[in-house]
A and B are shown apart, each in its own frame.
Chain A
C-alpha cells in the first residue's frame, strides 16, 4: 500500500484512465493531481509499479455569479478520461458549472538557436544578426504540461453532478440536477439538451437527477438516476429530447419499512454501468444494488453497506450525513464491487462468492506494504476485541470516492484529504 498525502484540500473525485497507467484526483480547491504508475524494471521486481505524482495543475478557479449574487465553487466534481489516441492524454474535469477539456503532454525537447531571440528569450537587435540558422531540437529535462483545450461553459443553470464520455469518443454528456446536455468535443458554444425534467412551475419540483452515464458500447444509450430511487435508460435515437425513457428501473417499496426517511435513503447517489454493459450498479444511502438491463422491476442483487445505520437515520438527518453521496465502482471483470462508508471504512462485495469485507483506510492502522486487516462493526450486545461499536464511528471520516484499476487489483481510496492506493500483495 502506498499513501500519498494531499494538501489540506479535500479530494472530491478519483479516476483511473483506461489503461490504469494514470490516476487523476480532483479536489475542493479546484486542483487536479495526476499520478503515473512507475514502469516495472527488471532491477526492482519487488516494487510493483508504484504511483508517483506526474502532473499538478489548477483546473478551476472560484467564480462569482453576479446575476444571482452567489459564489461558484471551484471544487472538481468529476474527472473523466478520454481514451488515448496519441502521445498526449486528455481528460474532462468539471465543477458545478463549467466543463473543461485538458491536454496533458510531455515535453522532453526544446528548440534552440532562434534567430530573432537569444537563449533567454530576449529579442536580439536586428542589426547584430549577420547569419541565418535553423533552430534545432535539443533534449531537456522531462516536463509535463497541462493546457486547457476547450472550455464548455454557460450551459448549466443547476449544479453539474456527472459527466460521461460517449463510446464514439466524439461526444460527451454533462448532467445537472434538472437537465442533461450533449456536447461535441470540438464545439464549445453549443450543446444539445437531451433530458429536461424541470417542471414549468418550480413549486412542483419533487425529483432531481442525481447521476448519469453513457452505455460503454452503445453510443445511443445512457442512464440517469433520480432522487426518488429510480433509473431511466434512454435511447437518443428515439427522439431529440429524451424525456421519455426506454426503460424504467424501480424497486417496489416495502410498505412495512416505510418511514419519513424512506425517500431520502432511496435517493441514488451514483450509477455505473458494468464493463460488459449488461448491468448497472446503483448506490443509495444504505445499499448497493445491481440491476440487469433486461429486468426493470427489481435489482438482481442487493448488498447492505452499513445497515446498522438504519436505526440512526434521524440523527443522520440532523447532522446532514444522510445526504452524503457515496460512489460505487466495479472491478475490471465486474466480479467485485466496492463502495465507501464512514469511519474511513470501505466495503467490497464479491458477486460470485457472496463474500464481503470491510477495510479501513487510515494511516494509524496501516503501514506501507502492510496487509489490510478486515474490520467489523459491532451492532449490539458484546463487542469483541477488534470490533468497533456503531456509536464510536466517526461520521466526519467518510469515504465517498474510490476507483478500481481497469484490469488489475489496484484500488484508489480517497479519505478526506488523503489518497490511499492499495495493491494485491506480490508473492
Chain B
C-alpha cells in the first residue's frame, strides 16, 4: 500500500563550504556572488523521498522551494535526484534572516499542502543559514498533523510511520499516524549525486511557479534583525617571562587553576 504523494521542501542556501562574510553595514551576511546550493538537510529529505519512490512506497515526489528566480536551480537539482515535478513559490524577500520568517515559510507550505494533498511532508531539520529548525514543527501544528523531527530513520507502513528520532540523550523510536511532517537529520541517509542523464531529464519535468504574494499569507517579518557581526577575533597571546608568571596568570586571570 503506497502513499499517493510526498511533498519535499528544499531550500537554496549559502553553500556549506563557503566562509561567509558580514556586510559592511552589519545588516546581514554578504550574499552577492557567493556560491549557493541546496541545504544539506533538504538534500537528505529529498533523497528519502526518492528512496520511498524506489521502494514502491510512494507514487509521486513533489519538490517545493520558496525563493527568487535562482531557486529554480535548486528545484532542478531535486528533479535531477528523482522528484517528479516541482513547485516554485517566488519571492525576492531574504530567506536567511530578516526576510521571510520561519512562520511565514510554514504558512506558505501549508497552502501548498492544502493544494497538493500529500500524505507525507519531508523537510530538512533546519537550514544552515537561519538555523531556526522551527519550520517543520510549525507546519505540522498549522496542519494539525503528526510530526517527527530529527529523523535518523524512517519506515513507512501504509497509514503509519516508525521514526527513530535524534535527541540530546540518544535516540527514541516513535510511531506516528500519517499524514505527517517529518524533518530529516544527518543520519537518515547519504544523498545521491544527480547523474548526468537525470540532469538532462530534469529539464523536461514540470516546474510550476506561484507568486508568494498570491497565496494569502502575511509575509511581513515579525523577527527584526538588529545587526549582524562576525564573532570576536581571537586575541593575541601574551608572552610570559617565568613559570611563576604563568602559574599566576592561569590562577588569577584565566581562573583555571
- Our verdict on whether A and B bind, yes or no, reads no
